[in-house]
Structure 1
């Protein structure tokens, strides 16, 4: 995986430490182990971030930060991946999670009304929540495992490719 590419887009720890709103997390932000860009830390950050993103809970970024601290993986990447479920994608993703949960529980999924409202959701929350929770956990586990495996394979492929390119350059220099 191109380490320089990731470093270009990830924030610097000093920049975050200077933020007044993040001073309460100075111990977490200042931990250098949470800023390492290695195959293991990036793959585990993808697992933590994608897992946290699929959970229908508030404060997903705090959950991802805690998970990054527990797993000793890249903190900014784990927290940034939570934004897979942004305000535009969240309804679609959570509806798909609900449908998956209803299918796994073998209960008929409720159809959404023509005009979805907070009142409709609040009235049926007791019926919707078990299927949503099950579907979200299954999706979260699946995406976490898939993301981790994909990053590890992509990183390994990139390293192998760079070794082969380096070998070709060395041969060309010797022959010239």
Structure 2
């Protein structure tokens, strides 16, 4: 069941290979392993896409593609997970990253004065064309927390994918077995 769903839903390798930004990877994107749909390939792609998708790095789609090419897992699923970070999710992702960071470094959660102070430092730095001091302690807290968050969510999505895939296969087996029993009983009665 999940395999049929993904095969119907995913675009063809030729269609993706024709995209402008995919041309830099050449024929590597046509590797059949990047388009193979099975539980392991999809789950690993979910892990890779979730990890890079949560980290607020520029060009995270490029990192997803490079990692997917390295591990030879499903490319479209990995790229779809890049959309985890979007205007609706960025605030909760950053907040949770700060929260994890404060737990790692045993500091209190940021407050309004701290944020205004950092904003003032950044504006002063921009106004003076890169001269000035910026306190990077908040950045250290945020980045550490985001890495922990990315790893935790990637592992969670990986495990959830395995569990849902397994559940749907078992459900399909039971349904097929029930249909076979029904057909057998109908044949007996005839």
The alignment's TM-score, normalised by the length of structure 1, stands at 0.88
Deviation readout 1:106-145 (Å, 9 max, x if unpaired): 12232246x98x9558365612211111111111111111
Report how far residue 167 of structure 1 moved.
Answer: 0.8
- RMSD of aligned Cα (Å): 2.3
Report how far residue 58 of structure 1 moved.
Answer: 0.8
Native 8 Å contact 2:96 2:149 kept in 1: no
Q: Report what 2:58 is aligned to.
A: 58
Deviation readout 1:25-59 (Å, 9 max, x if unpaired): 23332111011110000111111111111212111
Note closer, same or farther for the CA distance 1:6–1:120 as it changes in structure 2 (3 Å cut): farther
Gaps in structure 1 of 5+ consecutive residues: none
Counterparts of residues 16-27 of structure 1 (less than 5 Å) = 16-27=16-27
Q: Are 1:148 and 2:158 counterparts?
A: yes
Q: Are 1:47 and 2:47 counterparts?
A: yes
Identify which range, 125-134 or 28-37, moves more after superposition.
Answer: 125-134
Q: Report what 1:122 is aligned to.
A: 122
Native 8 Å contact 1:39 1:152 kept in 2: yes
Q: Are 1:175 and 2:185 counterparts?
A: yes
Q: Report what 2:129 is aligned to.
A: none
Question: How many correspondences in the alignment?
Answer: 175
Counterparts of residues 54-133 of structure 1 (less than 5 Å) = 54-112=54-112, 119-120=119-120, 122=122, 126-133=136-143
Report how far residue 91 of structure 1 moved.
Answer: 2.8
Gaps in structure 2 of 5+ consecutive residues: 124-133
Native 8 Å contact 1:43 1:148 kept in 2: yes
Note closer, same or farther for the CA distance 1:155–1:121 as it changes in structure 2 (3 Å cut): farther
The alignment's TM-score, normalised by the length of structure 2, stands at 0.82
